[in-house]
């Protein structure tokens, strides 16, 4: 299980005195516990791998957003910190689809749903996200759809 793997890697990070990695791993485990409690389970329960990936994706999105905000605020050192944590989180996420693969699915969905303009962009994006089964990044899907409907 992913949760057990992360717990073991946390012990390794402690032994190696790798403070940044340790902080990220502890944060993930805390987020897993929060997710369990939020779904009505006890903190001692184990989160399944699918739930763990969902939580890690949420954490990665938070890091990405924070890095952008720090860049806007001209706080480069904090933005770099967030990006370093993002890289560590992405190690635990499955590979995402390339934009070319997303484009093939999007073109098929545009033909199937007969979308001709941006007014049905939300419906189209929802259908594409459903077809990609979470393997595509939402931002990439949005970019591809905007390019195709441009």
Q: Which of 31, 26, 34, 30 is nearest to 10 (CA)?
A: 26
According to the model, what pLDDT value does residue 46 have? 94
Could you check whether 2-90 and 99-149 share the same CATH topology? no
Answer whether residue 148 shows pLDDT above 80: yes
Answer whether residue 66 shows pLDDT above 90: yes
pTM: 0.74
Mean pLDDT of 112-120: 81
Residues 117-134 pLDDT 10s: 788 888 888 888 888 877
Domain boundaries, the chain: 2-90, 99-149
Answer whether residue 89 shows pLDDT above 90: yes
According to the model, what pLDDT value does residue 147 have? 86
- Helix crossing, 76-90 with 19-38: angle to 10°? 70
CATH number for the region 2-90 comes to 1.10.1510.10
CATH number for the region 99-149 comes to 1.10.10
Mean pLDDT of 69-78: 95
4 vs 95, which has greater pLDDT? 4
Q: Distance (Å, rounded) from C-alpha 82 to C-alpha 147?
A: 29
- Helix crossing, 2-16 with 49-72: angle to 10°? 50
């Amino acid at each position: 299980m992913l949760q057990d793997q992360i717990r073991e890697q946390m012990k390794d990070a402690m032994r190696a005195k790798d403070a940044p990695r340790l902080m990220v791993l502890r944060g993930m485990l805390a987020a897993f516990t929060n997710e369990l409690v939020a779904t009505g389970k006890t903190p001692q329960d184990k989160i399944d791998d699918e739930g763990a990936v969902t939580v890690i994706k949420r954490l990665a999105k938070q890091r990405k957003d924070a890095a952008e905000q720090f860049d806007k605020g001209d706080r480069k050192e904090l933005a770099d910190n967030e990006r370093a944590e993002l890289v560590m989180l992405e190690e635990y996420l499955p590979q995402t689809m390339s934009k070319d693969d997303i484009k093939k699915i999007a073109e098929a969905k545009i033909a199937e749903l007969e979308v001709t303009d941006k007014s049905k962009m939300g419906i189209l994006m929802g259908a594409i996200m459903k077809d990609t089964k979470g393997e595509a990044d939402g931002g990439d899907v949005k970019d591809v759809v905007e390019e195709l409907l441009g």
